[in-house]
Chains A and B, each alone.
Chain A
Amino acid sequence: MASEILPVIFLSLIVSFTSTFIASVIGISAAVPFSIKNFKLKKYILRINEVLMSMPPVLMGLIVYVVLSKEGSLGNYNLLFTPFAMIIAQTLLVMPIVFTLTVSSLSKVSVEIMKNCKVLGAGRFEIFISIINECRMQILSIITTGFGRAISEVGAVMMVGGNIKGHTRVMTTFIAFETGKGNFREAFIIGGILLFISLIVNTLIHCFKGEAE
């Protein structure tokens, strides 16, 4: 029992952590300058990202599947039905969330911080760092939201991962699979663990907030 469940939990965490990490790095580093600068298409880019935020995971699954399939444009890399494929799909799902939320939570303060930094003679990179540093609590919450989306997502990872035992089976696809077979007990155990993980993540975030205040 444990030997079957442990790799599932482990893989779930790895895939979701990695995709949240990549999505956060890209999303946040794009969102900080985006929140400062004003340009023509800003409104539209934001709108598009808001739409992408609520992108159905199965649609993302379909897109990634088609691209990674042997007849797709990235077919030669043999990525379909690997953890990589799952990470790609989840990263693409989480990125708009991180981006949009970061932009909206920074838009009021970032210009202010930038002005202050400029007065102090800071360079571009220093401004970037100090904006992130000032807003790290909001950003942390945003990353948690993204992680929540990633780890609870089932449609996309089922499609591009294929739910292969010991290779691409994660907690959510495990639950779907076992429920289909009528094994409610196993499904509930994993479901409980899934809840427990989000509890831990949330507690950690609260600890950080407590430390900061």
Chain B
Amino acid sequence: MKKNLTKFFYFSVIFIFCLSFLSCTSVNEKSFILATTTSTQDSGLLDYILPVFEKETGIKVKVVAKGTGEALEMGKRGDADCLLVHAKSKEEQFVNDGYALKRYDVMYNDFVIVGPKEDRAQIKSTGNDPLLAFKKIYENKVAFISRGDESGTHTKEKEIWKKLNINIKGEWYISAGTGMGAVLKMADEKKAYTLTDRATYLSMKDKISLVILVEKNPILYNQYGIMMVNPKKHKIKEKEVQTFIDWILSDKTQKLIGEYGRDKYGQSLFIPNAKK
């Protein structure tokens, strides 16, 4: 009996090992790595459109969701094949530095400033002026949570502080260093203000009690762009990525992006604006 059991044990270990080896090596299908921002993943957009792409082309998209800053760094090192990010100035710099050949507009949505219903800093009364709202947050020293991860949202936030010439320091300013969804949860728990993209906010609206206080201002415009990592700099999956870029810029996919969220939230989360 004892021998049998021991035999069975050894056998099962070897079996599992073989199985795992097989499953690991069978990952030779057509695929590429898409480095993107947490907002496209947390909002559910990618889960909505990628299965369509995978079904049409048989190419598997491996999504690594990081902040825009980190995604760009991945592109620089060649650890990602394709980038879908939202910090236009940084992206253009990326192309100018030769890390990508071309950048395409894909879609946009906008940032909103959210906060607790009580709105202690009274930023709702600013008439949707983000500059004034940030100033009030600063003057009242109410808790503000920053993404703090060099993401597109963080870049936008820093732009606004810079315009105000405010030196952000102090206990009221919390640098979270995490994704958009996590920051919204944190802001909700701490009754703090934060800058978020509308898509992630809407997709989490049911789970948090934060409300939109400032919105629809040109400053808060949020453009997403797509880039292929320069194939001359790194060995990347050029063909697969090109297929994906052509696909996401096509009329059909653009329509699909525009439709996402309409049934659930009553409005589009992303507005497609690829140039023809």
Contact = CB atoms under 8 A, between A and B. Distances in A.
Interface of A: 13-15, 17-18, 21, 69-71, 75-76, 80-84, 87, 162-165, 167-168, 179-183, 207-208, 211-212
Nearest to A80: B79
Closest 5 CB pairs of A and B: A70-B78, A180-B182, A162-B64, A14-B20, A182-B207
Contacts of B2: 211-212
A18 B63 contact: no
Given A162-B64, A167-B62, A180 B181 contact: yes
Interface of B: 1-2, 5-6, 9, 13, 16-17, 19-21, 23-24, 27, 33, 42, 47, 60, 62-65, 77-79, 178-179, 181-182, 184-185, 204, 207-208, 234-235
Nearest to A11: B23
A69 B184 CA distance: 31
B20 A17 contact: yes
13 contacts: A14-B23, A14-B24, A17-B13, A18-B17, A69-B77, A70-B235, A82-B27, A83-B23, A162-B64, A164-B62, A180-B181, A181-B182, A182-B207
A18 B27 contact: no
Q: Which of A167, A181, A183, A212 is packed against the most chain B CB atoms within 10 Å?
A: A181
Contacts, number: 84
A180 B179 contact: yes
Contacts of A167: 27, 60, 62
Contacts of B1: 211
Contacts of A212: 2
A21 B17 contact: yes
B34 to A, nearest CB: 9
Contacts of A81: 33, 62, 64, 79
B9 A164 contact: no
Given A21-B13, A181-B204, A163 B27 contact: no
Which of B20, B23, B65, B182 has the most CB atoms of chain A within a 10 A radius of its CB? B20
B63 A164 contact: yes
A182 B27 contact: no
Nearest to B38: A180
Contacts of B24: 14, 18, 82-84, 87
Contacts of A15: 20
A75 B233 CA distance: 13
B254 to A, nearest CB: 23
Contacts of B64: 81, 162-164
Contacts of B60: 167
A6 B65 CA distance: 21
Given A18-B17, A18-B21, A181-B204, A71 B77 contact: yes
Contacts of A180: 42, 178-179, 181-182, 185
A69 B17 CA distance: 26
Contacts of A84: 24
Given A18-B17, A83-B27, A70 B62 contact: no
A70 B181 CA distance: 29
A70 B53 CA distance: 27
A9 to B, nearest CB: 13
B185 A182 contact: yes
Contacts of A207: 5
B181 A181 contact: yes
Contacts of B42: 180-181
A208 B20 contact: no
A80 B74 CA distance: 11
A25 to B, nearest CB: 10
Nearest to A15: B20
A168 B33 CA distance: 12
B178 to A, nearest CB: 7
A103 B269 CA distance: 58
Nearest to A84: B24
Contacts of B47: 165
B197 to A, nearest CB: 14
A163 B63 CA distance: 8
A17 B16 contact: yes
A211 B2 CA distance: 6
Nearest to A13: B16
B274 to A, nearest CB: 25
A182 B17 contact: no
